């Protein structure tokens, strides 16, 4: 069942989203060759708790860190480590969640480390743009399939693929709520958008096959063929006046 939010609840989610977005921006500014993913995670946790919030991901189903930090062919759910240093040419995905006064925010971005390849730059750019192409489809009478079809169609035009095994989601008092928000689909199909829906739209886009595999750590998801992957996400509210990006700062 989809939990539709009222204006007061959306305002509260905006507060959670602001903390989440600021934590991600701070983390992005830390990205450089030589820094460890653990250092970035520690800073994210410190910022979120300083704001009076709680990291949404910490201990979520046993996840051992405050942020998911995934490098190169790692798609999502990378575990930060003091042994993982970012290298020049890497691309790093940082996914952050914060829980504040009863509501969650969830946002992610992909950052280049130093000088990256043209393919990596293009993948990052297309992934971000696919998000905005997708949310253009959110409006009266449209459905989730319209959003997913727009994302998938755009990335395919550029020779990339959308991950199918993992999708976006509703969000609110729980980190993951109904509905699922796939980055693929059939236009005109699926749940109809309505005012008060709050969802996390998060294209996970691969340079090669859409197939993925899980590592033995039980968390980290990699591309099946070792190709690069990029990730972009915002929590957004659907209103009668359009879309509000709650995690944008």
Structural domain contains residue 127: yes
User: Can you give the pLDDT at residue 140?
Assistant: 85
| 163 three-state secondary structure | coil
User: Can you give the pLDDT at residue 2?
Assistant: 95
Structural domain contains residue 69: yes
Q: How many CB atoms lie within 10 A of CB 56?
A: 26
Range of the domain at 163: 7-245
Q: What is the pTM of this model?
A: 0.98
Q: Give the residues across from 133 on adjacent strands.
A: none
Element of type H or E holding 99 = strand 91-100
Structural domain contains residue 2: no
The number of folded domains in the chain is: 1
Q: Write the CATH number for 110.
A: 3.90.230.10
Structural domain contains residue 143: yes
Average pLDDT per 10 consecutive residues for the chain, totaling 249 residues = 96 98 98 98 98 98 98 98 98 99 98 98 98 96 97 98 98 98 98 97 98 98 98 97 96
Q: How many CB atoms lie within 10 A of CB 224?
A: 15
Distance of alpha carbon 29 from alpha carbon 31, whole angstroms: 6
Structural domain contains residue 186: yes
Structural domain contains residue 129: yes
User: Can you give the pLDDT at residue 96?
Assistant: 98
Structural domain contains residue 1: no
């Amino acid at each position: 069942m989809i939990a539709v939010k009222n204006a007061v609840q959306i305002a509260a989610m905006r507060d959670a989203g602001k903390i989440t977005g600021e934590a991600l921006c701070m983390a992005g500014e830390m990205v450089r060759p030589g820094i460890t993913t653990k250092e970035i995670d520690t800073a994210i946790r410190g910022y979120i708790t300083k704001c009076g919030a709680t990291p949404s991901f910490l201990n979520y189903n046993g996840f051992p860190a405050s942020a998911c930090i995934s490098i190169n062919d790692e798609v999502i759910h990378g575990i930060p480590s003091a042994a993982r240093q970012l290298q020049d040419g890497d691309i790093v995905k940082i996914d952050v969640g914060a829980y504040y006064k009863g509501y969650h925010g969830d946002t992610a971005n992909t950052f280049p480390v130093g000088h990256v390849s043209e393919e990596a730059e293009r993948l990052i750019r297309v992934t971000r743009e696919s998000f905005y192409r997708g949310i253009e489809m959110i409006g009266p009478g449209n459905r989730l399939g319209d959003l997913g079809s727009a994302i998938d169609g755009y990335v395919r035009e550029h020779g990339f693929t959308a991950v199918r095994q993992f999708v976006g989601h509703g969000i609110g008092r729980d980190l993951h709520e109904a509905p699922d928000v796939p980055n693929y689909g059939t236009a005109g199909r699926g749940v109809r958008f309505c005012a008060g829906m709050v969802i996390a739209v998060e294209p996970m886009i691969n340079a090669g096959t859409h197939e993925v595999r899980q590592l033995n750590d039980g968390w980290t998801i990699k591309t099946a063929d070792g190709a690069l992957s990029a990730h972009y996400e915002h929590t957004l509210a659907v209103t009668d006046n359009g879309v509000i990006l709650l995690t944008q700062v």
